[in-house]
Structure 1
Amino acid sequence: MFNRLFAKPRQETDALTTLDKLNETLEMLEKKEKVLVKKAAAEVEKAKVAAQGGKKKVAIQCLKKKKLYEQQIEQLGNFQLRIHDQMIMLEGAKATTETVDALRTGAAAMKAVQKAMNVDDVDKTMDEINEQTENMKQIQEALSTPIGAVADFDEDELEAELEELESAELEEQLLQPATSAPAAPVQVPAGRQPARPAAQKRTEEEEEEEDELAALQKEMAL
């Protein structure tokens, strides 16, 4: 059990430790390579000086040392390539491991969900929802049913009465006289305008006021 719990962190720690070690080794090889390059360049300069001084054997010895340094430089270059290769492979393996672990975690989570919610539980839940919906529908129908005096009214009689009212209203509209067309305007010839404007028609309110005034005067005379 403890191996399962600590396996993944230990693997990640080992991978990080290995990468750090490879980086340190790579830096060390690069430093050595720079030193050897400087030494090889120095031997070349020595060989030039010896050749100019007529010291042929000394110049050849310097060139031999330069060759040895170059061989070491080439060897260090191969070491660096191998370390780079190891680092790339290790990083790829680390990414692969993380991907597999993520997929494994997802599969375990999906399995747990399926185990917690099987088909029988889903069917049972849907049956409960349908039952609650049916109960709510029955409650709404019971609340909307008329009670008391309203329940005694006959819907057919009310509809028949409404039809009679609509028929009577339609008949009344048909019997109303059509509105008279407006009178055509009278054209007055030019130069013969009436001397005075025609008297305006009295309104109904004025006629009622005059009738009331006449009735009041008659009562006062009596």
Structure 2
Amino acid sequence: MFNKLFGKPKAKSKDGKPSVKTVATAVSSMEKIGENLDMLEKKEQILQRKIAAELQKATEYSKAKNKRAAINCLKKKKLFEAQAEQLAAYQLRLHDQMILLEGAKATTDTVDALRSGAVAMKAIQKQTNIIDVDRTMEDISEQQDNMKQIQDALAAPVGVAADFDDDELEAELEELEGTDLDEQLHESMSNVSVHQQPFMSSPEASNPVPTPSVRTQPQKTPVHTRSEDDELAALQKEMAL
């Protein structure tokens, strides 16, 4: 009963989209409506020409005092006008149907475009969901760990080098560093002794030259200067004898 009143529902494809047949039917219907409109417009134009012709005849018969013929022409004109009005009503209804179909097609195209975008978005989300991202990051981390293990294995000593004891080598290195430190300290002390000895034995060291200052201090004659002169004079006297 429902199908008889409203017709069968439109066929749809498995993904919910209108089938190609439905879209083709809508296009075909609009083309057919357009053809009918053209035909009705042509018929209306013919009727308008007939109406004008009958009106012209009625005017001529009226001038010729042929009242009956003039009335018959006016009757035909009325019939043609009624047909023209009916054709105009048909055209209006067809125009209304054309507008509805065009709107429906535009709506269908819009929904189809939106649906295609939604399907594409779902496909992208399936390819880049959070689970896949987590798995990818886990794979990368696992690969990095494996690469590190491989590098450590390649860097591990083999053969004779594998028998060396790191603790023993570190102890030997500390011993060498201590020996070098002792040698450096001994060399430093030797240099200090060499530089200080001439300073202590030099006669000038006992009589340092006074540093000039802003206020000049009177120089004092060292106490032992006279005794050294006496000893020198006595030595010269003995050599003269």
TM-score range, shorter chain: 0.5 to 0.7
Structure 1 match to 2:70: 59
Q: Identity percentage over the alignment?
A: 52
TM-score, length basis structure 1: 0.54
- TM-aligned CA deviation for residue 8 of structure 1: 2.2
Which AA in structure 1 matches 2:90? F
Structure 1 match to 2:39: 28
Structure 2 match to 1:71: 82
SS of 1:4's equivalent in the other structure is coil
Structure 2 match to 1:16: 27
1:45 matched to 2:56: yes
Would the alpha carbon gap of residues 22 and 58 (structure 1) be closer, same or farther in structure 2, given more than 3 Å must change?
same
TM-score, length basis structure 2: 0.50
Whole-angstrom CA distance in 1 between matches of 2:69 and 2:51 = 15
Structure 1 match to 2:124: 113
- TM-aligned CA deviation for residue 98 of structure 1: 1.4
User: RCO (CA 8 Å, sep 6+): is it higher in 1 or 2?
Assistant: 1
- TM-aligned CA deviation for residue 47 of structure 1: 0.5
Give the unaligned 5+ runs of structure 2: 1-11, 152-241
1:4 matched to 2:14: yes
Whole-angstrom CA distance in 2 between matches of 1:132 and 1:4 = 43
Structure 1 window deviating more from structure 2 (29-38 vs 123-132): it is: 123-132
RMSD between aligned residues: 3.1
Structure 1 window deviating more from structure 2 (123-132 vs 21-30): it is: 123-132
Which AA in structure 1 matches 2:33? L
Structure 2 match to 1:142: none
Larger radius of gyration: 2
- TM-aligned CA deviation for residue 105 of structure 1: 2.0
Which AA in structure 2 matches 1:24? E
- TM-aligned CA deviation for residue 100 of structure 1: 1.2
Give the unaligned 5+ runs of structure 1: 140-222
Structure 1 match to 2:114: 103
Structure 1 match to 2:191: none
1:39-76 residue CA offsets vs partner (Å, 9 max, x unmatched) = 10110111011111111121112112112211211111
Whole-angstrom CA distance in 2 between matches of 1:48 and 1:119 = 89
Equivalent pairs counted in the alignment come to: 140
